[in-house]
Chains A and B, each alone.
Chain A
Amino acid sequence: MMNALAARVPTAALVALVLVPACAHAQEPTREALIRKERQERAARLKPEQTSRWEQRILLINEKKIPQRLSYGYNGLRAKLGGMITQGGFGIGPEYFREDLLDGRLETQASWQISTRGYQRGLLRLGSRELLGGRIEAEMLSMHHYYPKIQYYGPGPDSKKTGRSNFLLDDNSVDWSLGAAPVKGLLLGASTGLLWINVGPGREKKFASADSLYSPEEMPGIDRQTDFHRYGAFFRVNYLDNPAGPRAGGFYLFQFNRYDDRRSLGYGFNLYEAELRQYVPFYNQRRVIALRARTHLTDTHAGETVPFYLQPWLGGPDDLRGFRPFRFRDRNSLLLNAEYRWEVFAGMDMALFADAGKVFPRRGQLNFSRLEKSYGFGLRFNVRNRTFLRMDFGFSREGFQAWFRFNDVFPMRPLGTSSTQPYQ
């Protein structure tokens, strides 16, 4: 068979060689005719231009603005996902959000969430937009938290990892704040609010309830509930290049707040907070050194103490990343973070970080001795210069922690009295 074919091919090729030029000359004497013939042949087998199913689906999603519709919901009513406190589980619930009230000058947000771990979080917020050309910011924020399993390891820097317990926190608050921006980047303001708190036995069965392990002396406020009137002032300088994913600039915040015990149980205190952040970019911002120093200091009048649930704490995804959440707690805290970030590709940065910090009972202990340290690395996923997912892997003397968060490592927080509450 092969032989027969082989015998035929040279003959056919010969015929072709003889015929082709002649045919070509006879039928396609010009380049133009050749091109025309090619087009005619193509015209005979035309078909509608099509895109793949996947492309059609993506187009549909994009054209119908399905993500935007889902995120905005129906006339502002939508589902709120996530956003719970660390280790609070995955939260879900309805949210009403409008930014077009009063002809776009008023923004409102109301939400209620319950999480997979039984945590609940409610929020009602009214905020101004573009008052006096954006120079005035006014906000009313009311919150409710029902956090039944907050970790507690005992007071002070020497608390033990093995001392883990948990407690219930149930609070309601309402705060009003007013800020003025006399020049770009500078914000001065004051705020006031009310806070009602109820604490109780933790609902986590795997661990002891805090009140069974620690005495009221170690956990001031565990045995007696009170309410607070709080008020204060803040001062902020913000010249970050992009607050959602900064690569350059600085952020300096100073706040003073007074908590008055409305039931005169001796839980009033002053809270001083300072936070300094600096971003040092190089190689066209493809490399960044991010630095942060933060301290919370408290003082009390004679006969007063700071209740344990309002004491600053350290440990977790946003501060000491090699330690468990809420690992250290005392009347004062100091935190230092340094990150070296570099761009791996356009949508992802990597980071090496070092955290150091401590909690301490007396303000005079504000120094760099006996710092707890953690180290690690992380991934930062960005879209249009906004960090939408962060993974951090931290190591410390107490082991290893992995964090998956949907925020920047030094997240922007609200200002004023409401921001001073440790559990948001």
Chain B
Amino acid sequence: MKRLPLALLFATLLPAQKFYPDDPLLVEPPPLDAGKPARRKLSDWYDLFWHILATPGEKQPRAGPPVRARNVNTLGDPMDGAWYVRRHYWRRMTIEELQRGAGGTAPPEFPWTVVAAKGEGITPGFTILDAKKRRFFVKLDPKSNPEMMTAAEVISDRFFHALGYHVADEYIVEFHPADLVIQDRLTFINQHGQKRPFTRRNLTELLVKAPRLHDGRYRAVASLALEGQPLGPFRWFGTRADDPNDTAPHEHRRELRGAHVFFAWLGHDDSRAINTLDTLVTREGRTFIRHHLLDFGSTLGSGSDRPNSPRSGAYLFTWRDSAIQMATLGLAVPYWAKARYPRYPSIGLFESKVFDPEKWVPEYPNPAMLNRLPDDEFWAAKQVMHFTDEEIRAIVDTGRLSDPEARDYLVRCLIERRDKIGRAYFRKVLPIDRFELRSGELVFEDLAQKHGLPSPAPYEIVWREFDNQLMQAGAVLGRGAKAPAGGGPYIEAEISAPARPSQKVYVWVRGGQVVGIERTW
């Protein structure tokens, strides 16, 4: 009997088998009821210094096998659920769907009642209830850069939606001050920390900071309040201690690791926790926490209240770079400082020539992004590459940039940045995907070939027996695309390319269906 606890310990440590009958699971199992988690706020200053000085979260080991993403199904994808939904790459969205984003069909209706206002902050804004009593957060462009922040916000919102994240339903709107009604007895905290009545004059002072259109109206972005009760931001590491469904440490979630590639593509260097939000949502009688990305005002060339910093894509601070700059008297010029930016006020500072996805980093270390592995990067890069030029143009159109040259420039930058991402990450693992067994043959797409990038083809396939319980491949059953008959319920295909001997893709087949994919490099 003394041996039983030890046996049970082994039982919990050892995975029972590689595949289960319901693999691959495409949708997360129904969540457990989350109860009543408390709302909590995070400090962006604390976040900044903590991440710069200590970088929290579990890091990749310096030696030995790396920690792969933990929240994926056997195909290597996050399951549809509270964090992520497989969208554009898995089922090509129509142009209309891409442009609609998370909603896109119900902009706020006049009159608007101002129910909250910011007395300070880098971007002028306020909260309204529209004619249908829906709550929207309204933000305006900086005076120096008409259209910049609002366009960046909406365009990136559409991209991140298509890339699978939960985002807000956002609209570019135009309003006249006369369309605004101030709620009775509304107060606000002014820039000196004092509670004051919010008057029409305060509203005017707020609007004065924003550019005015020729007809006297203002352009703004209106974000519909997210469904559910706000609980505060999620961190890019660890788990929420009060969420039963938050089982994978965030720094090991594929969609958060892979977000590095998306953020690089869209110039989203502001990857702070406070640009995320958890909400408590009730669906089908279950209450659970859903996780959102928010506030894309500092993406593309925008820095919200001014053009983005030319430092975008570099850490605000590192000991090493600072020492180099001090020692060389600034003669060691960082690559990003050499970028050239055309003067498009509605774009800000955005470019594609100097952009290097492998050098790009957010403003300060992000634990999830730091943990990314080549398979995380490939997972993200294939989604970026999936956007056609036409789709990119269509999404950029949602920014309603009035200068066609600026719009074309932004589209061109995004296309060139996309292609750089493909070139960078398709070379780190075999760039093949969309595996299926067709007429007994294993077929797949060479994404590099498809997108006109250097491909390691031709590929070689070796079929082996696979013992699901021992999780071991056995005897060779055959070679080539044709799947061998027999060999047990599971067979394994090892795909390699002589051009890149260290890179392999393993595909497992059960009953004529692909049930597992794993990449090595």
Interface residues of A (CB under 8 A from B): 8-9, 11-13, 15-17, 19-21, 23-25, 28-32, 34-36, 38-40, 42-43, 46-52, 54-55, 58-59, 62-66, 68-69, 71-72, 103-104, 283-287, 340, 342-348, 350, 352
CB<8 Å pairs between A and B, sample of 14: A8-B3, A9-B6, A12-B6, A13-B10, A15-B3, A16-B6, A16-B11, A16-B14, A21-B17, A32-B25, A35-B247, A51-B41, A62-B43, A284-B349
Report chain A residues within 8 Å CB of B334: 286
Please tell me which one of the listed residues A51, A344, A352 contacts residue B322 in the complex, with CB atoms under 8 A apart. Answer: A344
Report chain B residues within 8 Å CB of A47: 241-242
Q: Which of B358-391 contact A (CB under 8 A)?
A: 363
Contact A347 B316 (CB under 8 A): yes
Rounded to whole angstroms, the CA-CA distance of A66 and B25 in the bound complex is 50
Contact B6 A72 (CB under 8 A): no
Per-residue contact bits, chain B 17-56, to A (CB 8 Å; 1 contact, 0 not): 1001111010011011001011011110110000000000
Contact A48 B193 (CB under 8 A): no
9 nearest A-B residue pairs (beta carbon):
A342-B330, A24-B16, A65-B193, A16-B10, A72-B192, A284-B310, A43-B244, A346-B316, A69-B193
Please tell me which one of the listed residues A43, A66, A286 contacts residue B310 in the complex, with CB atoms under 8 A apart. Answer: A286
Tell me whether B62 is interfacial, beta carbon within 8 Å: no
Report chain B residues within 8 Å CB of A29: 20-21
In whole Å, how far is B301's beta carbon from the nearest beta carbon of chain A?
Answer: 13
Contact B45 A58 (CB under 8 A): yes
Report chain B residues within 8 Å CB of A19: 7, 11
Question: Given A19-B11, A64-B193, A68-B191: A36 and B29 within 8 A (CB)?
Answer: yes
Q: Which of B172-202 contact A (CB under 8 A)?
A: 189, 191-194, 201
Tell me whether B439 is interfacial, beta carbon within 8 Å: no
Question: Given A20-B11, A31-B23, A283-B338: A51 and B40 within 8 A (CB)?
Answer: yes
Report chain B residues within 8 Å CB of A59: 41-43, 46
Q: A48-B242, A66-B193 are in contact. List 16 more A-B contacts (CB 8 A).
A: A11-B3, A15-B3, A17-B14, A36-B29, A39-B244, A43-B32, A43-B244, A47-B242, A49-B240, A50-B40, A68-B120, A284-B349, A286-B330, A346-B309, A347-B317, A348-B322
Contact A24 B17 (CB under 8 A): yes
- Minimal Cβ-Cβ distance residue in A for B13: A16
Rounded to whole angstroms, the CA-CA distance of A285 and B32 in the bound complex is 53
Please tell me which one of the listed residues A25, A36, A46, A50 contacts residue B16 in the complex, with CB atoms under 8 A apart. Answer: A25
In whole Å, how far is B9's beta carbon from the nearest beta carbon of chain A?
Answer: 8
Contact A20 B192 (CB under 8 A): no
Per-residue contact bits, chain B 225-266, to A (CB 8 Å; 1 contact, 0 not): 000000000000000111111110000000000000000000
Contact B247 A346 (CB under 8 A): no
Contact A31 B317 (CB under 8 A): no
Question: Given A31-B25, A49-B37, A345-B316: A65 and B189 within 8 A (CB)?
Answer: yes
Rounded to whole angstroms, the CA-CA distance of A13 and B6 in the bound complex is 8
Report chain A residues within 8 Å CB of B321: 345
In whole Å, how far is A222's beta carbon from the nearest beta carbon of chain B?
Answer: 46
Report chain A residues within 8 Å CB of B32: 36, 39-40, 43
Tell me whether B94 is interfacial, beta carbon within 8 Å: no
Report chain A residues within 8 Å CB of B191: 68
Rounded to whole angstroms, the CA-CA distance of A60 and B247 in the bound complex is 30
Question: Given A30-B22, A59-B41, A72-B194: A352 and B329 within 8 A (CB)?
Answer: yes
Report chain B residues within 8 Å CB of A43: 32, 244
Contact A68 B192 (CB under 8 A): yes
- Minimal Cβ-Cβ distance residue in A for B323: A344
Report chain B residues within 8 Å CB of A28: 16, 20
In whole Å, how far is A122's beta carbon from the nearest beta carbon of chain B?
Answer: 24
Contact B329 A342 (CB under 8 A): yes
Please tell me which one of the listed residues A12, A32, A346, A347 contacts residue B7 in the complex, with CB atoms under 8 A apart. Answer: A12
Report chain A residues within 8 Å CB of B329: 342, 350, 352
Contact A20 B244 (CB under 8 A): no
Residue among B45, B193, B318, B349 facing the most chain A CB atoms (10 A cut-off): B193
Q: Which of B284-339 contact A (CB under 8 A)?
A: 309-311, 316-318, 321-322, 325-326, 329-330, 333-334, 336-339
Report chain B residues within 8 Å CB of A42: 244, 246-247
- Minimal Cβ-Cβ distance residue in B for A35: B29
Question: Given A48-B242, A49-B241: A54 and B16 within 8 A (CB)?
Answer: no
In whole Å, how far is B111's beta carbon from the nearest beta carbon of chain A?
Answer: 26
Per-residue contact bits, chain B 486-512, to A (CB 8 Å; 1 contact, 0 not): 000000000000000000000000000
Tell me whether B105 is interfacial, beta carbon within 8 Å: no
Rounded to whole angstroms, the CA-CA distance of A29 and B187 in the bound complex is 58
